[in-house]
């Protein structure tokens, strides 16, 4: 255990990844990068990070921006609550810390959307505070090397691994230790097909010695996947297209979309057109179906969404919508943040 940090840091010196935020000391930019990398692959996140910090280079400019603009710069990354939390967090820092990012770990945790992992990453990277960044990479590496079989999705498992990480962390190079552990988990001790044959820890890794690599880390719970069917009504009336903002506390909150019928089961075309919502909108109109898109599958971590778009052209009359519906041209639609699924149905 005494040589763990030394061995890890030596591996890191030889294998360190070059990333736009890798040597960043600005806590604001570190915060942005860590929020982007939640649920996002690094290859995808790099471009988003560069565009985001170019447009919002500091806390004050992010706080002053509109939510729609922040979401537009996030468009395509998914998990939009992250962008809303960043926006709210910037406003919180402006109000409670005079626009200066807090240096205390406890104060960092008070920022909306910042959990234990993100707070530890910011505290260690920006301020060299001795907090291990406990994420999936850390769980995987430490459970394999030290042979921990307690399920990591239990309180006992999280506590055991976190305690071990606290014992292992290099107090002199805290930030570098956390970055090294992240890279080691991403490049060497990967979830599948880890590179055990040339691993610097192979001489004492319990998983390698006892052939437990594919079994660790242990998880006790299985993820339940919810199935949803989204039927978009792209209603065109002259130059106008109708969109509304998702306001419910659900996926894509704050994004814009066409009027939507959601179903737990697949619907036939006549069921969509005969749905009370569709009938209510179009009852004073003469209309025709222009095109029907293919069914697009959109996979989220706990949900599978099947989306389809029906393009309906109004020949006479006005559709009946509530006050929250907006009428915009296709060109104007580009200004509004939309989901990846909406992007796909628009392209059909």
C-beta of residue 175 within 8 angstroms of C-beta of residue 115: no
User: What is the rounded (10 degree) CA torsion for 184, 189, 193, 197?
Assistant: 100
- DSSP string for 97-143: STTPPP-SHHHHHTSTT--HHHHHHHHHHHH--S----SHHHHHHHH
Distance CA(226)–CA(187), nearest Å, equals 32
Q: What is the spatial distance between Cα 181 and Cα 176, in angstroms, rounded to a whole number?
A: 9
Active site residue 34: yes
Residue pair 90/31 in contact by the 8 Å Cβ criterion: no
Q: How far is CA 116 from CA 105, 109, 111, 158, in A?
A: 9, 7, 11, 12
Beta strand 303-316 with 226-237 is: parallel
Cβ–Cβ under 8 Å, residues 285 and 317: yes
Instruction: Compute the distance between CA of residue 252 and CA of residue 274 in angstroms, rounded to an integer.
Output: 27
Catalytic residue among 10, 24, 34, 343, which?
A: 34
- Cβ-count burial of 2 within 10 angstroms (0-12 exposed, 13-18 middle, 19+ buried)? exposed
Q: What gap in Å lies between CA 82 and CA 1, rounded to an integer?
A: 36
In whole angstroms, what is the distance from residue 36 CA to residue 52 CA?
10
Compute CA 331 distance to the chain's CA centroid, rounded to the nearest angstrom: 28
H or E element that contains 325? none
The residues with which 288 forms a beta bridge, in sequence order, are: 313
**40 to 61, 90, 224, 264, 267: CA distances (angstroms):** 24, 21, 21, 28, 32
Which residues are annotated as catalytic? 34
């Amino acid at each position: 255990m005494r040589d763990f940090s030394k061995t890890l840091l030596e591996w890191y010196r030889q294998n360190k990844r070059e990333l736009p935020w890798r040597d960043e000391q600005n806590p604001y930019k570190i915060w942005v990068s860590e929020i982007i990398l939640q649920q996002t692959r690094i290859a995808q996140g790099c471009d988003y990070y560069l565009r985001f910090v170019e447009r919002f280079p500091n806390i004050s400019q992010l706080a002053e921006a509109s939510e729609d603009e922040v979401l537009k710069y996030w468009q395509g990354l998914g998990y939009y609550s992250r962008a809303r939390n960043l926006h709210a967090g910037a406003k919180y820092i402006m109000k409670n810390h005079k626009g200066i990012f807090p240096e205390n770990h406890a104060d960092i945790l008070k920022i909306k959307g910042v959990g234990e992992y993100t707070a530890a990453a910011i505290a260690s990277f920006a301020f060299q505070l001795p907090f291990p960044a406990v994420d999936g990479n850390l769980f995987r590496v430490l459970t394999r090397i030290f042979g921990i079989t307690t399920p990591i999705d239990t309180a006992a498992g999280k506590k055991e691994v976190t305690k071990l990480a606290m014992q292992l962390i290099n107090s002199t190079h805290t930030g570098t230790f956390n970055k090294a552990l992240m890279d080691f988990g991403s490049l060497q001790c990967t979830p599948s097909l880890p590179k055990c044959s040339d691993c610097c820890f192979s001489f004492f890794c319990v998983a390698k010695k006892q052939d437990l690599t594919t079994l660790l880390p242990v998880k006790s719970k299985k993820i339940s996947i919810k199935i949803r069917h989204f039927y978009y009504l792209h209603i065109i009336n002259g130059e106008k297209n109708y969109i509304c903002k998702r306001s419910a506390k659900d996926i894509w909150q704050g994004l814009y979309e066409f009027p939507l019928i959601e179903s737990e089961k697949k619907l036939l075309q006549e069921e969509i057109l005969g749905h009370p919502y569709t009938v209510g909108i179009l009852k004073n109109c003469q209309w025709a179906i222009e095109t029907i898109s293919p069914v697009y599958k959109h996979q989220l971590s706990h949900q599978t969404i099947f989306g389809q778009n029906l393009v309906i052209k109004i020949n006479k009359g006005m559709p009946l919508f509530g006050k929250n519906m907006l009428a915009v041209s296709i060109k104007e639609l580009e200004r509004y943040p939309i989901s990846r699924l909406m992007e796909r149905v628009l392209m059909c």
